[in-house]
Structures are given as C-alpha cells and as structure tokens.
Amino acid sequence: MSFKSFVRNNPVYKHYILPLRQKYNAYVESKLDDEMYFTRRHKKIFGYTPDFKNPQTFNEKIVHRILYDRNPLYTALADKLKARIYIAAKLQNLALGGGGGKI
C-alpha cells in the first residue's frame, strides 16, 4: 500500500480534508473568467495546455466557438423544440417563395 492510497483511504481525509478541498476548488473555479476556466478544465482532462485563439483539435474548436462566437442562433438550435420551430419557419418561408433558396 502506497502512502498516497493510505492517505486517501484514511477516514479523516475522506470526511474532513477532502470536502474542504472540493469546496476550495469550487470556490477558485467560480472566480475564474471563462477562458481560464476552460483552459484549466481542458488541461486537466487532456493533459496539455490548449490554444483557443488558434484551435487545432475538435475540442479546442468547440470551446473557441463557446468563448468567441456568441450567436444566439446556436442557443436556439441546441434546444430541440426551438430547432424544430426554426427549421419549420425556414421551410415555410422557402415554400412560400420568400426565402430566396437559402436556409
């Protein structure tokens, strides 16, 4: 049994220290701006520091869009019902001849 596993299995750590660490980490994350929060989260998950200004991977591109492209249409399309309403309105507009062929 390693020292690390001994400490983590200790009841004092589990019931007193770990909850305090979790609250502290949640407090620190709540004070970060959006870019720093996503940078810290990305590095924790993938193990490298991302470049959101010049994204290369798919995950970096998604976060780039979250941070820098605040188009309200994306919010509406993420909602299943609003997306259906939006598409129905576009198709109705197209069927009536007022859309010019663009969706």
Tens of pLDDT along 76-90?
A: 888 999 999 999 999
**How far is C-alpha 9 from the chain's CA centre?**
32
Number of neighbours of residue 38 by Cβ within 10 angstroms: 20
17 plus 43 within the same structural domain: no
> What predicted TM-score, i.e. pTM, was given to this entire model?
0.63
Residue at token pair 């940078």 = 39
Query: Is the per-residue pLDDT at 99 higher than 60?
Result: no
Q: Closest by alpha carbon to 18, among 9, 31, 27?
A: 9
Number of structural domains in the chain:
3
53 plus 78 within the same structural domain: no
78 plus 101 within the same structural domain: yes
27 plus 39 within the same structural domain: no
More confident position, 94 or 20 = 20
101 plus 76 within the same structural domain: yes
11 plus 38 within the same structural domain: no
Query: Is the per-residue pLDDT at 100 higher than 60?
Result: no
* pLDDT (tens digit per residue) in 28-81: 999 999 999 999 999 999 999 999 999 999 999 999 999 999 888 888 888 999
* CA atoms within 13 A of residue 85's CA, in its CB half-sphere: 7
Q: What's the domain range around 52?
A: 33-70
Q: Is 9 helix (H, G, I), strand (E, B) or coil?
A: coil
Question: Which amino acid is located at 88 in the chain?
Answer: A
Q: Is 29 helix (H, G, I), strand (E, B) or coil?
A: helix
81 plus 94 within the same structural domain: yes
62 plus 81 within the same structural domain: no
40 plus 61 within the same structural domain: yes
Confidence of residue 102 (pLDDT cuts 50, 70, 90): low
| Residues comprising the chain, all counted | 103
The whole-angstrom separation of Cα 36 and Cα 23 is 19
